Amino acid sequence: MLRKLLYAVVPILVAGGMFWLVTEAERLDAAPLADLQPGDPKRGERIFQIGGCASCHARRGAEGVAELELAGGLALETTFGIFVAPNISPDPEHGIGAWDEADFLNAVMRGVSPEGEHYYPAFPYTSYARMEPQDVADLFAYLKTLPPVAEDAAGHTLSFPYTLRRGLGLWKRLYLREEPVITFPAGAPEEVLRGRYLAEGAGHCGECHTPRSFIGGLKDDRWLAGAPALEREGTVPNITPSQDGLGSWSPADIVYYFETGFTPDFDSVGGAMAAVQKNLTKLPAEDREAIAAYLKAVPEVGKSK
């Protein structure tokens, strides 16, 4: 009897132990972080706009100065449950004011909280993993200059099994990597590579424009080929250079859209992209041009059958 019990219990313990090991929250290597330059808030502001941080972390509908009060609160209603963006203002109690730079880099680039817990990937750290640590340090320096907000955003509303954060360790093993999604041949124009860095990293374009598997990972073979909207109704368009996407758009058309929100047919930006486009207007022209060059250079992917 005892032996039988042992046969049953031991594999469970072994499996449990293995699960525990492979799902542990992995932090960045500490050594390279020590070599970073002190964060530059001026450079960080540009990263802030590229990332569109305010679009989720400012209160809904905030304009002007209020857009810099990162109280959180935006609710993303997804098939996995409702994720609410947290307060990331420099308030030490309600925001991230008590964090050090390494805490911030681990949160942004590895999805790990200072307490060593996994964040849910509604916070798109699988894109941010591709950023340069120095850019993230600059962003942190910029966030420190913003007004502290002493209030908590609501918590997430999730159902089992998504309430088990630990399981995200496995998910990250599948989907978190620093390498770019699209590999270009040697000698690709500098502008395209810079656009790739902006779009695949801080800009996190793929998070909405790429379809996801049933466990919520991005399907890299349909990169930027359009997807059902994650929140609300409708679809997110294909932005690859295929005929179903931006095939007929010139790079100048794409840049004009980023600047004004108008397509070549003078249809206008809408939905969640409206806030993104507004952020894009705040970037230097060369960043908009680089992203446009990248979008014309990614593989064409047509409509899915």
Minimum CB distance to another protein smaller for 11 or for 270: 270
Q: In the complex, which residues of this chain contact another protein (CB under 8 A)?
A: 226, 229, 232-237, 256, 260-262, 265-271, 274-275, 277-278
Cβ–Cβ under 8 Å, residues 200 and 180: yes
Question: What per-residue string of b and e applies to 180-192 under the rule 16 or more CB within 10 Å gives b?
Answer: ebbeeeeeeeebb
Give the count of alpha carbons within 13 A of 132, CB side only: 14
192 vs 269, beta carbon nearer another protein? 269
Tokens of 299: 């593989």
Between the alpha carbon of residue 278 and those of residues 63, 217, 253, the distances in Å are: 11, 27, 16
CB of 235 to another protein, least distance (A): 5
Write down the least CB distance from residue 303 to another protein, Å. Answer: 8
Q: How far is the CB of 234 from another protein (least distance, A)?
A: 3
CA-to-CA dists, residue 279 to 8, 41, 162, 257, 261, angstroms = 56, 17, 31, 12, 11
**Minimum gap (Å) between residue 187 Cβ and another protein:** 33
Comparison of 134 and 263: residue with beta carbon closer to another protein = 263
The distance of closest approach from Cβ of residue 265 to another protein in the complex, given in angstroms and rounded to an integer, is: 7
What is the nearest approach in angstroms of another protein to the Cβ of residue 304?
11
Evaluate whether 180 touches 130 at the Cβ level (below 8 Å).
yes
Cβ at position 81, least distance to another protein in Å? 21
Tokens of 100: 């050090």
**Of 43 and 219, which has the nearer Cβ to another protein?**
219
Residue 163 or 281: which CB sits closer to another protein?
281
Cα 288 off chain centre by = 18
Q: How far, CA to CA in Å, does 228 sit from each of 71, 78, 134, 210, 231?
A: 28, 11, 34, 9, 9
The smaller minimum CB distance to another protein, of residues 188 and 273, is found at 273
Q: How far apart are CA 163 and CA 114, in angstroms?
A: 19
State which residue, 167 or 237, has the beta carbon closest to another protein: 237
